[in-house]
Structures are given as structure tokens and as C-alpha cells.
Structure 1
């Protein structure tokens, strides 16, 4: 259940996926962020480069949230924070910036088919109501069955990304 821990773990998984597709990925590398008098030294969560030398700066955020409540507003807020950071990171460089939100939902333990129905509803609502360029999710069977001491489960993770201009 590495993915339910934090942002760094998920950025590492994303970097591993990039490498497995033949791309190059560097995590937490130092660079200059911002433009003009707002320039400062900082770190980029993830730098990606493909075989055509197309570069991308990825800034990520991680958030745990309930499937109940206004998760659309919460997801939009997390994704906006990530895209805002990506804009600062790319500055005026001719590099694509991408904001990524890693969302880990939790809910009370219930039958697997009920969990999957709820997650289908959450995904459908998110896809329809959150401005994004990419959404991906993984709900491993092992996670669907694992009940924490408090009676909750964490069925998996949703990754939502948006390119910045």
C-alpha cells in the first residue's frame, strides 16, 4: 500500500512508470523557479524527458479525503495548488508544466461490490466536474479487502493531471 502514504511515494511510482516506458525521470532536482525578480532556487517534484527530448516539469500534491462531502471542490483545490506550482516551476522556460493530484479516498468498510459502485460514482462525478487532462486510478483487490483498525478502508488511488500554459 505504498500509494496511500504520501506525495513522494507516488511521485516515485510515477517516475518508475516513466522509466518503464523508455523515458527519463529525475525526482526532486534543483533548478531556478519563477520569472525575473521572482526567481528563486527550488526543487521540481519530477522532471520527465521522452525520446524526442520533450521535457516536462511535474509538480504534485497528495491528499486523503472521504468519498462523502464535497470531494469535487477538494480535488479541484488540490489540483489547482499543483498547477499553480507547475506554473511557477516552469517560469518562462519552453518546458511543459503539469500539475498532478494524487487522491486517496477512504470510506467505511463494506462489501467489495458496494465499494466499487461508490468509487464508480466518485470517478464519474470527478470526470464530469473537475477540469483535467488526464485521470487514472487503481483499486487493487488487496486494498479493497484491507480494513484498518478504525473500520475504514482505502480502496486505492486516483491520479488527476492538468497541463499548464
Structure 2
């Protein structure tokens, strides 16, 4: 198994996506860890919903000396070329390079086989990219992104070493399932989140995987 940096990391699968997302994702990892430390290691913000994850991604832009705006009005194009009013989840710009993103959130669900879950991971990316494709074609890149909070089942009795092994195993599954359907796969498993249990039965969510895929320009 590849020895990856669990705290945060990424695999860039398309050079077109390197800018501005490489720096954005470095800032995002720092933002997640800073939030957990600030609130006293009692909750993991990526566990909540799509909005909380988008806010952390926006924070990553500011940390890297960029800018970000969330939930702003846009005019979207539909299949029949008509225009409808809507909102874009996030605009970011770092070093003068901007991107608009449509986000989705997909937590691990209980009692699903790995194959079924893998298909759902991929379909969620398609859904996000399809939403991003309806955004106006400005000078900015358009992309879909999906947040996948990672669940480790019945982990309360695990040793530190067993937890790390379980996290590494889950991460490799996500990377394997996503790499053919994304331009970047990133992850963040902050050390200060390893002992936060969010469900009574002992399941915990030690981190989050994020996939980004660009809208292809014809």
C-alpha cells in the first residue's frame, strides 16, 4: 500500500486542474484542521453537510491569500438554451486564477456493498459537473466537486495503529474508485480528529475526501 501523508494530500490527475486548485486544496486542509482545533476537538465540520464543506473550501482560498464568494446569483443555461436564475456554490481566485464550483456532499451510507458505493461515488461527480456546466462561460474554469466524509465503523476499541491502518485502507478505496472520474482527488485526515466519535455506536469520521472534475470546454 502506498504510504501517503494522511494529514492532507492530493493526486493531480490532469494538469489542467493544477491551477488554482493545488493551492486551494493546500489551504483547505489547513482550514479543516484549524476549525477542529479552535472548537476544542469536539466536532468535525466536514461531517455536517454540503454547506459546511463549501465554507471550509472557501476558507482555504483565504488562507492562501486568495478570495472566495459563496452562494452568489448567476444566470444558468438549460438544455433548450433558455436562461434561468440560480446560484453558484463557490467562486475562488488565487494568484489571479479563478474558478467557479458546484458542490455535492455524499456521506458513506450503512449496509451498502463496496461496488454499489463506488458507482454512487462516480455518479455524484457526474451530477456536480453537470450542474457546473450550466454556469455562464466566463474566463474562469468551471468544475464540479464532491465531498465524501469517510466513515470508520466500530472504531472505539481500535488502537492508534489500527485506526491509522483502517484510515489508509479506506483512503485507498476512495482513490481507486475516483481516479478515473476526477481531475484531482484530495484528502484531509487531521491528527486532531482521530478521537472524535460522532455516532453512539462507535463509528467515527476521521476525515474527508474531495474530488474535483473540470467542465470540459469544447
Normalising to structure 1: TM-score of the pair? 0.86
Distance 1:156 1:6, change over 3 A: same
In structure 1, C-alpha distance between the alignment counterparts of 2:52 and 2:177, rounded to whole Å:
27
Match of 1:123 in 2: 171
Match of 1:163 in 2: 214
Match of 1:32 in 2: 75
Contact 2:152 2:166 in 1 (8 A): no
Q: Which runs of 4+ in 1 moved over 3 A?
A: none
- Cα displacement (A) at 1:144: 2.4
Match of 1:102 in 2: 147
Local SS of the residue matching 1:19: helix
1:6 pairs with one of 38, 41, 49:
49
Question: What are structure 1's unaligned runs of at least 5 residues?
Answer: none
Normalising to structure 2: TM-score of the pair? 0.67
Contact 2:174 2:209 in 1 (8 A): no
- Cα displacement (A) at 1:66: 4.5
Contact 1:66 1:105 in 2 (8 A): no
Match of 2:10 in 1: none
- Cα displacement (A) at 1:45: 0.2
In structure 2, C-alpha distance between the alignment counterparts of 1:51 and 1:118, rounded to whole Å:
37
- Cα displacement (A) at 1:107: 2.7
Match of 1:144 in 2: 194
Matched, 1:48 2:92: yes
Match of 1:81 in 2: 127
Question: Larger relative contact order (C-alpha < 8 A, sep ≥ 6)?
Answer: 2
In structure 2, C-alpha distance between the alignment counterparts of 1:66 and 1:107, rounded to whole Å:
11
Partner deviation per Cα, 1:119-142 (whole Å, 9 max, x = no partner): 322322332332211122122334
Q: CA RMSD in A?
A: 2.1
